Amino acid sequence: MNKEVALVTGAGRGIGLATTQRLLDDGFHVVMVDLNAEPLATNAAALLEAGGSVEHHAISITDRAAVSALIASLPRLDVLVNNAAVFWDGKFDDVCEDDFKKMYEVNVIGAFVMAQEAIKVMKRGARIVNVASRAYLAGYAHSPYITSKAGAVGLTRGMAFDLAERGIFVNAIAPGLIETDMFRSLTPERQQELIAKQPTKEVGQPEDIANGIAFFASPRTRNVTGQILTLDGGRSMGISIY
Ligand SMILES: NC(=O)c1ccc[n+]([C@@H]2O[C@H](COP(=O)([O-])OP(=O)(O)OC[C@H]3O[C@@H](n4cnc5c(N)ncnc54)[C@H](O)[C@@H]3O)[C@@H](O)[C@H]2O)c1
């Protein structure tokens, strides 16, 4: 295949779907992966109908056998976007150990499995983009998510060192509040509370994150690795003391 191939996880909706569209606009063939088969198939069909070079696969990023078989079937793999994740809110006292493990299994181990299988076929100049979250810095009432996203940042930095000499670049995006089903799963009160803390008083759009991902995914972005790009309406600047 002449086109560069990008694999996007969690591509059935939200940020993953916007990223798929953006990478199609940038000339990639996009391999869409999502656990949730129905929206994935519908959205992939719409993109195909519009002339997009896409294929879709309903698998879990935690299923190593399925991931390995899919990656082995691709003609080439230039970009991996590790975007799929799960999220839920909850006070620390109420966090249940099984839920904590489940979140870590998808948000960290899933990304690790994807990357470890991807690098078996990736060549010099390939790029991996992990979608972390601004939440890795801190936040109320979602300690398992914060832990998993700090894990995504750690994975990015660790992989960046290990893969640098092979010419595989690994970077991460840390989104702030983005208007997707994940954000809409919060109560309206919690949504308003979080928006009020944004310096911009705005919730970001999936396309804002897709643009950042496209920067790291671009073949023109050379010699950049181990970086975390925070796209959060200025929230991570901290609290103004004036
Ligand atoms: N929306 C936000 O406010 C926000 C903020 C910071 C970071 N993020 C991060 O951005 C990324 C995308 O978030 P979103 O808001 O688009 O979420 P979303 O919930 O709308 O989409 C996530 C997608 O991942 C898929 N998925 C979940 N588990 C999977 C698995 N095991 N295998 C394959 N696919 C799986 C889901 O089916 C879903 O389609 C996530 O990593 C999320 O943590 C989102």
Domain layout of the chain by residue ranges: 5-231
Counting residues of the chain whose pLDDT is more than 70, the rounded percentage is: 100
Sorted by sequence, the CB contacts under 8 Å of residue 49 that are 6+ apart come out as: none
Are the C-beta atoms of 232 and 193 separated by less than 8 Å? Answer: no
Decide: helix, strand or coil at residue 221.
Answer: coil
How far apart (Å, rounded) are the C-alpha atoms in residues 217 and 105? 25
Sorted by sequence, the CB contacts under 8 Å of residue 105 that are 6+ apart come out as: 62
User: What superfamily does domain 5-231 belong to in CATH?
Assistant: NAD(P)-binding Rossmann-like Domain (3.40.50.720)
* pLDDT tens digits, one per residue of 74-116: 999 999 999 999 998 889 999 999 999 999 999 999 999 999 9
Please give the pLDDT value at position 139. 86
Choosing from 104, 140, 145, 242, which is the catalytic residue?
145
The yes-or-no answer on residue 145 being catalytic is yes
The CB of 17 under 6 Å from ligand 1? The reply is: no
The CB of 200 under 6 Å from ligand 1? The reply is: no
* pLDDT tens digits, one per residue of 121-147: 999 999 999 999 999 998 888 999 999
Nearest one of 2, 17, 4, 1 to 182, comparing CA atoms: 17
- Between the CA of 174 and the centroid of ligand 1 the distance, in Å, is 13
The chain-wide mean pLDDT, for the chain, equals 96
Sorted by sequence, the CB contacts under 8 Å of residue 34 that are 6+ apart come out as: 9, 10, 11, 12, 13, 16, 40, 56, 58, 84
The CB of 110 under 6 Å from ligand 1? The reply is: yes
Helix (H) or strand (E) holding 156: helix 143-164
Out of 42-46, 138-142, 168-172, pick the least confident.
138-142
